[in-house]
Structure 1
Amino acid sequence: MALMQVNPTRMELTRLKKRLATALRGHKLLKDKRDELMRQFLDIVRENKALRQKVEQGIEEANRYFIVARSVMQKEALSVALMAPKQQVKLEVGMKNVMSVDIPRFTAKTRTDNPHDIYSYGYAFTSGDLDGAVQSLAQVLPDMLRLAESEKSAQLLAAEIEKTRRRVNALEHVMIPDLQSTIRYITMKLDENERSNLTRLMKVKDMMIAQKIQQDRERSEEAV
């Protein structure tokens, strides 16, 4: 706690009290924001963990299919089959505001709704395991996009939580204690000045009374 360099006046005391009230209100709002951000961050982390496990399982399944397909197909035939994709995917990126943090929202749209358009080759000269690999990747794509969205959201929320935490600590451990100490100092200084003024007024009053008594005594002596 450190005293601010201010003049110990009533006007300054009023101004500092207003600043303290604003700081206390801001401290409460920031703490509420930090707690809500933390709650949403933990929800996203739990979702992220489940999505990552699901995506890893899907990719692992697709790899198994690819390995089997490659073992029964010639390398050139496999490359030709996958050379020209038939389906097209368009990724749309939007934003969602969560506690003043813009987190991404990914939406994938295919050129057609036909589920068989994912196969860019004929079935006569390819293995059924290649179909399984392509289908597994097509099924895991939405989860991969959701995982990317979830991980980016977690990063942004973590950065905002850290920023909010620093602000809360600065208010709680620096600004608010400094304001309170300065207010106490000014209050004590004003009370001390008031006591000094009261003592000075009492002394002046005693001097005036003594002077009045002296004047009355002198008039009495002159009258005699």
Structure 2
Amino acid sequence: MAGTRVNPTRMELTKQKKKLLSATRGHKLLKDKRDELVRQFMDLIKENMELRLKVEKGIKNANMEFAIARAGMSEQVLNTALMASKKSLNINQGVKNVMSVDIPTFSTNDEISGNDIYSYGYAFTAGDLDDAVYSLSTVFEDMLKLAEVEKSCQLMATEIEKTRRRVNALEHVIIPEAMENIKYITMKLDENERSTQIRLMKVKDMMVQQAVEERRVQDGL
């Protein structure tokens, strides 16, 4: 019960009213944040599904072409051709803030195009290998974006759950508790005020009665 947790004083009543006002404002802000997080999360989920399908299709095609290239080449020649890359690729990682959530961003300043994607000579390799390497290179940027979006989804889901718990705590615990405390304190203060008024009325009646008796005594004399 509220009465076992708070003192029924006007100072405590003011404190509880401020607490209720703050909790109500916080509840609205957190609900708005949760709703916006959910909206952006759904957009990310849609983007993630589209990217995943695109990447899986690209990797599947590249694997098929590698299988064809391997069928037309000896394993030793294939392994030698793919053993060392011709150019390194640098990936830059950044962070952007979305609704108080720091989500990663991945980008690269390097452009791999033309002959840069082939780490081997053409004398002893089949043209099917060129097609396979090219197919794999075209899906790289989508793979990088997919990694960014999937990590963003994970972080966004965590923040949504955290915000949801806070909203529920405010809505079902803190706000009802503050309202119950305010109701309890107000009731107690009203009871105290009525008791004080009754005592004052009794004191007044006693004083009036005493004055009447004194007047009678004086009149008798």
The one-letter code sitting in structure 1 at the alignment partner of 2:138 is Q
The one-letter code sitting in structure 2 at the alignment partner of 1:120 is S
- 1:172 maps to 171
Superposition map of 1:192-211 within 5 A: 192-211=191-210
Instruction: Name the TM-score, length of structure 1 as normaliser.
Output: 0.95
CA contact 2:3–2:185 (8 Å) conserved in 1: no
CA contact 1:4–1:182 (8 Å) conserved in 2: no
- Distance in 1 of aligned mates of 2:52 and 2:187: 61
CA contact 1:119–1:131 (8 Å) conserved in 2: yes
Instruction: Name the TM-score, length of structure 2 as normaliser.
Output: 0.96
User: Displacement, 1:108?
Assistant: 2.0
- 1:185 maps to 184
- 1:105 maps to 105
- Distance in 2 of aligned mates of 1:125 and 1:3: 89
User: Displacement, 1:116?
Assistant: 1.7
Superposition map of 1:61-72 within 5 A: 61-72=61-72
The one-letter code sitting in structure 2 at the alignment partner of 1:24 is T
- 1:161 maps to 160
Gaps spanning 5+ residues in structure 1: where?
A: none
Q: Deviations over 1:38-71 (max 9, x none)?
A: 1111100000000000000100110111011011
Cα RMSD of the aligned pairs, angstroms, is 1.3
User: Displacement, 1:3?
Assistant: 5.1
- Distance in 1 of aligned mates of 2:28 and 2:81: 62
CA contact 1:3–1:178 (8 Å) conserved in 2: no
Q: Deviations over 1:62-93 (max 9, x none)?
A: 01110110111111111111112112110110
SS of corresponding position for 1:31? helix
CA contact 2:2–2:184 (8 Å) conserved in 1: no
The one-letter code sitting in structure 2 at the alignment partner of 1:189 is K
SS of corresponding position for 2:109? strand
Count, aligned residues: 221
The one-letter code sitting in structure 2 at the alignment partner of 1:171 is L
Superposition map of 1:1-224 within 5 A: 5-110=5-110, 114-222=113-221
- Distance in 1 of aligned mates of 2:209 and 2:53: 96
User: Displacement, 1:194?
Assistant: 0.3
Gaps spanning 5+ residues in structure 2: where?
A: none
SS of corresponding position for 1:122? coil
Deviating above 6 A after TM superposition, structure 1's stretches of 4 or more consecutive aligned residues are none
Residues 24/135 of structure 1: CA separation in 2 closer, same or farther (3 Å cut): same
CA contact 2:82–2:120 (8 Å) conserved in 1: yes
- Distance in 2 of aligned mates of 1:60 and 1:93: 27
